Amino acid sequence: MIRPVSAFDRLGTETAFSVLAHAQSLAAQGPTRGNGMALLNLNVDFQGPVFIGDTVHCEIEILEMRESKGRKDAGLVNFLQKVVKQDGKTAVSYKALRLIRRRPAA
């Protein structure tokens, strides 16, 4: 399932890495909030520019989940995240592999 997490009215800079940083901060408000333990891998594809005045949002899709072999209290989650502009065009997409804290056993 893809769901918008939040939106920014305005970006303070035109750099590609600034857009990625904003996307990461949007993602932190979503499914990893308070449970993220480590960012293990990041594959980034910059697909188009973002300019001052653009409105963007971040879409997050969970591609895969699996148990961690080394940690009983965590699992590995592979996310696809997209930064989408107001015109519907993707500016940045990236896959992020994160170590996420598991829920306590019931």
Mean pLDDT by 10 residues, the chain (106 residues): 43 54 61 77 89 85 92 92 92 91 77
The answer to whether residues 94 and 21 touch, using CB atoms and an 8 Å cutoff, is: no
What is the number of other CB atoms lying within 10 angstroms of the CB of residue 19? 23
How far apart are alpha carbons 90 and 56 in whole angstroms? 9
Chain segment 82-93, per-residue pLDDT in tens: 989 999 999 989
The tens digit of pLDDT for each residue in 22-40 reads 566 666 556 666 788 888 9
pLDDT on residue 54: 86
Whether this model's pTM surpasses 0.85: no
Number of C-beta neighbours around residue 26 at 10 A: 21
State the pLDDT at residue 28.
59
Residue 104 DSSP class? P
